[in-house]
Structure 1
Amino acid sequence: MNEIELLAPVGSFDALKAAVQNGANAVYLGGKDFSARASANNFDREELIEAVKYAHIRDVRVFVTTNTLIKQNEIEDFVEYAKFLYDIDVDAIIMQDIGVAMLIHELLPDFELHASTQMVAHSLEDVQYLESVGFKRVVLARELTVEEIKYICDNTNVDIEIFVHGALCVCYSGGCLMSSMIGNRSGNRGRCAQPCRQKYTMIDISTGEEIHNNGDYLLSTRDLNTIEEIDKIIETGVLSLKIEGRMKKPEYVATVISSYRNAIDEYEATKKVSISDETMEDLYTIFNRKFTKGLILGEVGEDVMNSNVPNNQGLYVGKVVDYNKKAKRLKIKLEGTLKKGDGINLGGGTIGRIIKGKEIAQIGYKGETIELDFIGEARKNQPVFKTSDTDLIDKAQKTYTQDKEFAKSLIDAEISIKLGEYPELKLIDKNDNSVTVKGDKLVEEALKVALSEEKIETQIKKLGNTPYEIDNLNIKLDKGVSMPISLINQMRREAIDLLDEARIPVKNRADKNKYIKYSPKKYERNLDQKSKIRVKVNNIEALKSIINLDIDMIYYEDVTTLEQATAMANANNKKLVYSAPRIVRNKEYRRLEKSNEYCKDNVQISALGQVKYYKENNENVSFEVDYYLNSFNSETINHYKKEGAKTVCISQELNIHEIKETTQYTDVEIETVAYGYIPMMLSEYCPMGVVARSCKKEKRCANCKESKYVLRDFKGEEYRVAQDLFCRSTIYNSSANCLINNLEELSDAGINVFRLDFTHENPDLISKITKAFINTVNNNFTVNINDQEIFDEMDTTLGHLYKGVE
C-alpha cells in the first residue's frame, strides 16, 4: 500500500505555513488566474514562487488549482500560465477542462496532470479513461462509497484522491449550473454564489400544499468529517486524503490538518483509530455545519443535510436557562466548557466576564450555571454553541506565526576529517538529494585535546530551527587530529543552505527552457448548410408526439423502453439515438447493457467513461456529445472529435460571441439546446424523500415517478424536481430556455443543430413546440405569429445567450 498523503487546502501564506507545520504531505492552492475559488485570496506569481520554495524545502508537494473551464480567448494566456507553473517547479496542475488539459499534456508531457473533482469522475470507467489520456491522478466525486472507491483502486494504476473533511456540494461537482443560471455566477468558473445555502420551500404541484420539514435550508449539506472511521478510507487503497477549505482561515487549516495527521499516524502505527473527545471538540469548534460521515461512509438523506443552519454551528456547550433583557444578563446551564474570550452562536462578539453567583471567573465548567453580560435575543432552552475558542485559536496560531519548524525531515550526514586534508561534509535527504561542502582549512594534528566523535556529532546535530533532523550520521575521523569547531558549524550551515536549494526543483523536468506557443488551426465552416432540428425525449408518450415530424434525429433517454422506442423509430424511418445518463456509477453500467444492442453505430454520451464503455462494446461506435461534458472551447470539442464525436453540444454557459469565436477552430458539427428546461443540479440527495417523507430507498416510489414537486425560492421562482433511473434528483431551471427568435444568429455563429429538450411537458405541447421550430427553420428563421403565441404564454429565458458567465 502507498504511504498515505494528507493534502491540505491553502488560501494564504499563513495557511500554507499552518498546513506544512501541522503535518501536510502536500498542499493545493490557487493563483490569481483560472482557480475554482475566485474569491479566495489566492497567490500572485511572486507568492507562488515563494510558496513552492517554502513547501519543497520541507518535503511538501505543491499542486496548483486551475480547475475552471477555459474560454477560447483565454487559452493562449492559460498556456503561458501553465508554463510559468511548470518552470517554478509546481509539482502538478489540477484541471477541469479536458481539452485544455490535453493541450498542456501535449506541450508539457512531463507536467503531472490531476483530474479535478469538477471532472465528475464517478466510476471505474471514468477513471480508466482519464488514466488512458495522460492523467496521473484523479480526484473522485464525493458521492462515492468506500466500497466503490476500493473497487476503483483495485482496478486502476492512477493515483486516487478523495475528500475526507470539509464542505460538501449537494450537486455533483462540475455538473452544477444553479448559481450560473440563477445569478450568472458560474461554479465552473470559480464563482459559485452557493444558492444551495439559501432557503427553499417544497411545494406539491398537484395540491399547492407547502411541505414542511424541520428547517428551510432544504439544499444545504452538512460538513464532511470522516476522522473516526479514517481506517475504512485508508483501507480502500487511496493515495491522497484531501481536506476541503481554501476559503478557510489558517487556524482552521492548522486544527484540521493536525487532527487528521495524528489519526493517520496512529492508524499506520497501530492499525487502530482512537479519536479523543478533545480532538472532536476542536473540529466542531473550529467550523462545522453539523457533521456527517458522508455518502463515502454510507450516510444518506437527512444524515447528510442540515436544513436548519447554512453556516458555522460550533460546539454544543449548554442551554439558556433564563434571559433578563432589562439587566442584560444571560443565564446558561453548561454541558461543556466556556471561557472568557470565547464566541457563542447568540449574537456577535466574544464573551467578557463569566459570572458565578457573586464571583467573577475566567472559565465555566460542565455542570455549572453561569451568567454572561449579553445584549441581543435569546429564549429559554435555546441551545448554546461555542463558535470560537481562545485556547484553540492560540494553540493553532503558535504552529505558524512564530516561524518555528515543527515538521522535520530526516536526513543523513557523512563527515570526513582526515589529517592533512580539507574536511568534507555531505548531507543526503530521503529523496536522494545530496550536497557536499568542503572546509577552507586543512585538518591538523592536535597539540593538546584531539577532536572526538562525540563532539562532532553534537555540532552536526545542532540543526536548531531548520526543517531537518539527522537520522544517520557517519563520521570518518583520524585519531589525534584537530580543527576549529567554528569551521564545523560553518560547514553545517552552508550544507543546509545548499540542501534547501537542492530540494526546490522537480527532478528531471525536461522542458524548462522550452518556448511553447498556442497556434490553433482555423476552419472554414459551411454556414450555408441546412440547419437541423433534433429532439430529446424521455418516455414513449413524448416520442409518439414527435415521431411523424420532420426532424433529423431523436435522442431517447429511457433505457427500459429503448427496444420499443427503437422499433417505433424504425417503423417511422426516424434516426433514434440512446442518450446515456449523466451519472452511471461502476456496477450501474449493468443497467445499460441493453443499450449496447441499439448503440452499435451511435450513442449520445454525458460522461467521460462512456467513451470507454461504448467503444469496448461497439468498436465502430460514434458519439453525440452532450453539453454536460462542458465543451467550452475548440480544444475540448476537437478532443471529442478524436474520440469519435460526430456532434458536440456546446456549453450552455457561453454567449453568442464566445460561441462564434470557438466554432471557427473546429469542423465538428455543433449543437445547442434551443429549447428546454436546463437541469441545474444532479444530486444523490432526494429532497422529495427527505422532506415529503415518502422515500423507499430500495426502489423508486410512485411520488418520485410522478415528479410532482417544486422547490420555491425567496423570490417565488419554482424549480421542478425529478428523479432518474438511479433515483438521483435533478433540479430544473424555473424558466425554459427558448431561442426560437435567435436561430439565425446562432446559425451565423456556426451552430447548425438546434436541439429541443423535453422533460415534463405534456405530449401536446411537445408537438406544438417542435412544429414551431421546424416551421421557423423552414421559413428562413422567421417565426410565424401562431407559433410565437405558444411561447408568449410560457415563462422563457434566453439563458446565457447574451450574458455568458464571467
Structure 2
Amino acid sequence: MTTIEKTTPRYQGKRHRLAKPELLAPAGNLEKLKFAVHYGADAVYIGGQKYGLRSNADNFSFEEMKEGVEFAKRYGAKVFVATNIYAHNEDVEGLEEYLRALEHAGISAIIAADPVIIETAQRVAPKLEVHLSTQQSTLNWQAVQFWKEEGLPRVVLARETSFKDIAEIKKHVDIEIEAFIHGAMCSSFSGRCVLSNHFTDRDSNRGGCCQSCRWKYDLFVDDMPMYDEEEDKFTMGSKDLCMIEYLPELIEVGVDSFKIEGRMKSIHYVATVVNVYRQAIDAYFEDPEHFELKQEWIEEINKAANRPLNTGFFLDEPGAEDHIYEPEEKAAPYDFAGIVVDYDPKTSFATIQQRNHFKVGQEVEFVGPEGTFFKQTVTEMTDIEGAGLEAARHPLQQIRIRTLKPVKPMDMMRKKLGRK
C-alpha cells in the first residue's frame, strides 16, 4: 500500500519563527532542471561528467550547466553540483580544473564528502560554497561543529538522523542544515554499500551503484529454492521516504533545506513532488497556526510514488515493515502522458508533446504549478497539421487535443492506468 503508515506521536519541539526553508530538487538532465525550477524548486542539484555518485544519469556538460544556471536565475533559483564520490588516487587528477570550470559556469555550490575535494574547492574555487554530503554520515552536533570550523556553511545530514538529533544539532551549532525529506532510501548505512562492488564490480561510492537491493533474489534452504518458478522473488529494498505529513515539524525543528531525492527519476516525478512540497511550504508560512495537511497533496504524492512510503528515521528506528520483500502495487497508478507546448484560447486546443501512448476516449488529467488541475476525457485529437488521430503512438510526437479548461506551457498531462 503506497501510503504513509506510521502513527508515532510527532516531535514536540518548541515553536519558533524561522526563515522559509529552501526546497531543493534533483535534476538528472537539463529538461528536468527546467521542470523542477518551473514547478517551484528554490535550488536544484545536478551531476557533472565527473566526481558524482550517479554516473548513469544524463549528467551535465559545462555548456548545459551554464544554460541551467541562466534558466534558474530567471526564477531566482540556484544550481548545485554533486561532487560526492570518495576519490581514489586516479580520481584526483584534473580536480582543480574541474572545480574552476564549475565556478566559471556559475554554479552556486558543490556537495562533497571527500576531504581532498572539499579542501581543493576552498583553495582553487573560493566562489563555490561547499556543502557536506550525506555520504559523510553526519549524525551529531560535534561532527557538525567540526565541519563548520572547516569553513563549510551547510551540512547535509545522514538519512539516519532523527528529529531529536536535529534539534540537538541546531541547539549547539549555528549552521545551515539540509535533510532529505522525500525519495529513495538506501538499505545500507547512509549509502555505504558494497553489494554493487561484489556483484558487478561497480563501486557504489564512485558513482556506479547497480541497485543490488532492488534485485529479485531466491532464498535457499539446503540448496533447495524456497520459491516456485511462478512466484515473485524476494527483494530487500527500503520503502521510500515521504515527510509531507510532518512538514511543520521539519520547519520548526530548524531544517534549512528540504532535499528531494531522485536524479534518476522522471520529469513527472520531479515536477509532481516539487509542486506538492512548494504548495505545502507556502501554505504553512501563510498561516502557521491554522496549517492543515490537504488530502489532495497526499494523493498527488502517491501518483508519482514508485514504492510504498514511510517516514525513515525521523520518528523512530525503521523495522522489518519498512522494507519491501515482495512486489507491491502503486496505490494510484498514473502514467506520464505528455507536456503542454502551447494553447490556443480561441479554439480551446492544446498542443501536447507525447511522452506515453494515449488515445481518444481515455481519461486524462492536467496539472501545473500555477493552479492547473482538472480531469477530462480526450474527445478530439489531431496531428500538428490537423489530420484526425485516434491515438498518440509516437514518442515526442506533437498532437493537438481540445481541453475543457485553459492550460499553460509546461503543464503536464497524465493518464490513469487501466482506464479508457
TM-score (ref. length: structure 1)? 0.39
1:106 to 116, 123, 140: 123
Secondary structure of 2:258's partner? strand
Aligned to 2:331: 315
Contact 1:10 1:28 in 2 (8 A): yes
Deviation at 1:173, TM superposition (A): 2.5
Give the 3 Å change call, closer, same or farther, for CA 248–201 of structure 1 in structure 2: same
Q: Equivalents in 1 of 2:257, 2:87: separation in Å?
A: 26
CA contact (8 A) 1:289 1:309 kept: no
Deviation at 1:216, TM superposition (A): 4.7
Counterpart amino acid of residue 120 in structure 1: S
Which secondary structure does the structure 1 equivalent of 2:111 belong to?
A: strand
- Other-structure match for 1:42: 59
Is 1:228 paired with 2:200?
no
Shift of 1:304: 1.9
Cα distance between partner residues in 1 of 2:126 and 2:358: 56
What is aligned with 2:301?
A: 283
Q: 1:92 aligns with which of 77, 98, 109?
A: 109
**Aligned residue in 1 for 2:34:** 17
* Distance 1:262-1:113 versus aligned 2 partners, 3 A rule: same
Question: How far is 1:20 from its partner?
Answer: 1.2
Match of 2:180, SS? strand
Instruction: Quote how far apart the aligned CAs of 1:283 are.
Output: 1.5
Shift of 1:99: 2.2
One-letter code aligned to 1:288: N
- Counterpart in the other structure of 2:192: 175
**Distance in 2 between residues matched to 1:119 and 1:196, nearest whole Å:** 21
* One-letter code aligned to 2:175: V
SS of equivalent residue, structure 1 residue 173: helix
Hey, what does 1:711 align to over in structure 2? Answer: none
Offset from partner CA, 1:589-635 (integer Å, 9 cap, x none): xxxxxxxxxxxxxxxxxxxxxxxxxxxxxxxxxxxxxxxxxxxxxxx
1:136 is aligned, of 153, 167, 170, to 153
SS in 2 for 1:224: strand
Distance in 2 (alpha carbons) for counterparts of 1:29 and 1:340: 22
- Partners of 1:262 and 1:154 lie apart in 2 by 29
Match of 2:74 among 57, 74, 84: 57
Q: Rate the CA distance shift 1:219–1:87 in 2: closer, same or farther, 3 A.
A: same
Q: Is the 8 A contact 1:31 1:44 kept in 2?
A: yes
Shift of 1:242: 0.3
Corresponding residue pairs, total: 335
> Which residue, 156, 168, 173 being the options, matches 1:151?
168
Could you give the per-residue CA deviations for residues 319-349 of structure 1, whole angstroms, max 9, x where no partner exists? xxxxxxxxxxxxxxxxxxx99979xxxxxx8
Equivalent residues in 2 for 1:137-536, closer than 5 Å: 137-200=154-217, 216-271=233-288, 272-298=290-316, 300-309=318-327, 313-316=329-332, 362-363=362-363, 390-391=364-365, 394-396=366-368
| Aligned: 1:26 with 2:43 | yes
Instruction: Name the CA shift for 1:158/1:217 in 2 (closer, same or farther; >3 Å).
Output: farther
Does the 8 Å CA contact 2:24/2:45 hold for their aligned counterparts? yes
CA distance in 2: counterparts of 1:36 and 1:339, whole angstroms: 28
Tell me, what secondary structure is at the counterpart of 1:160?
Answer: strand
Instruction: State the distance in 1 between where 2:45 and 2:125 align.
Output: 20
Contact 1:112 1:136 in 2 (8 A): yes
Asked whether the 8 Å contact 2:108–2:128 carries over to 1, the reply is yes
Secondary structure in structure 1 of the residue aligned to 2:254: coil
Paired residue type of 2:292: S
State the partner residue of 2:144: 127
User: CA 1:118 to 1:341, structure 2 compared with 1: closer, same or farther past 3 Å?
Assistant: closer
Task: After TM superposition, give the deviation of residue 315 of structure 1 in Å.
Answer: 2.6
Q: Counterpart of 1:119 in structure 2: which amino acid?
A: Q
CA-atom RMSD, angstroms? 3.1
1:125 to partner: Cα distance = 2.5
The answer to whether residue 25 in structure 2 is matched with residue 8 in structure 1 is yes
Q: 1:128 to 1:302 in 2, by over 3 A?
A: same
Secondary structure of residue in 1 paired with 2:367: helix
Deviation at 1:200, TM superposition (A): 4.0
Give distance in 2, aligned partners of 1:133 and 1:273: 38
Distance 1:236 1:49 in 2: 35
Aligned counterparts of 2:224 and 2:20: Cα–Cα separation in 1: 54
Q: Is the 8 A contact 1:120 1:175 kept in 2?
A: no
Higher relative contact order (CA 8 A, sep 6+): 2
Does the Cα contact within 8 Å between 1:69 and 1:188 map onto a contact in 2?
yes
What is the CA-CA distance between 1:240 and the residue it aligns to? 0.2
SS of the aligned residue for 2:237 comes to: coil
Q: Which amino acid aligns with 1:4?
A: P
**Secondary structure of the corresponding residue to residue 28 of structure 1:** strand
Asked if the contact 2:154/2:178 (under 8 Å) is kept, the reply is yes
2:15 maps to none
The one-letter code sitting in structure 1 at the alignment partner of 2:51 is F
Structure 2 unaligned runs (5+)? 1-17, 339-355, 373-407, 409-420
Q: Secondary structure at the match of 1:126?
A: helix
Contact 2:110 2:130 in 1 (8 A): yes
CA spacing shift, 1:340–1:29, aligned 2, 3 Å: closer
CA contact (8 A) 2:36 2:271 kept: yes
Query: Could you give the per-residue CA deviations for residues 479-535 of structure 1, whole angstroms, max 9, x where no partner exists?
Result: xxxxxxxxxxxxxxxxxxxxxxxxxxxxxxxxxxxxxxxxxxxxxxxxxxxxxxxxx
Change (3 A) 1:99 1:339: closer
Q: Deviation digits for residues 183-218 of structure 1, max 9, x if unmatched?
A: 1111111110011112346678xx999999x97544
SS at match of 2:324: coil
Q: Find the aligned partners of 2:191 and 2:325 in 1 and give their Cα distance.
A: 23
Question: Residues 385-784 of structure 1 correspond to what in structure 2 (within 5 A)?
Answer: 390-391=364-365, 394-396=366-368
Contact conserved, 2:37 with 2:72, CA < 8 A, in 1?
A: yes
Displacement of 1:103 after TM fit?
2.4
Aligned counterparts, 1:786-805, within 5 A = none
Q: State the AA in 1 paired with 2:59.
A: N
Q: In structure 2, what is the Cα distance between the partners aligned to 1:127 and 1:165?
A: 22
Where structure 1 has 5 or more consecutive residues not aligned to the other structure, the ranges are 318-337, 343-348, 354-360, 364-389, 401-464, 466-806
CA distance in 2, matches of 1:137, 1:247: 24
Q: SS in structure 1 opposite 2:79?
A: strand
The alignment's TM-score, normalised by the length of structure 2, stands at 0.72
Deviation at 1:395, TM superposition (A): 2.4
**Hey, what does 2:399 align to over in structure 1?**
none
Contact 1:96 1:118 in 2 (8 A): yes
2:39 touches 2:369 (CA, 8 Å); kept in 1?
Answer: no
CA contact (8 A) 1:68 1:96 kept: yes
* Matched letter for residue 106 of structure 2: D
In 1, Cα distance between equivalents of 2:169 and 2:64: 37
Q: Over alpha carbons, which structure has the higher Rg?
A: 1
Q: 1:173 to 1:77 in 2, by over 3 A?
A: same
Residue 4 (structure 1) shift: 0.6
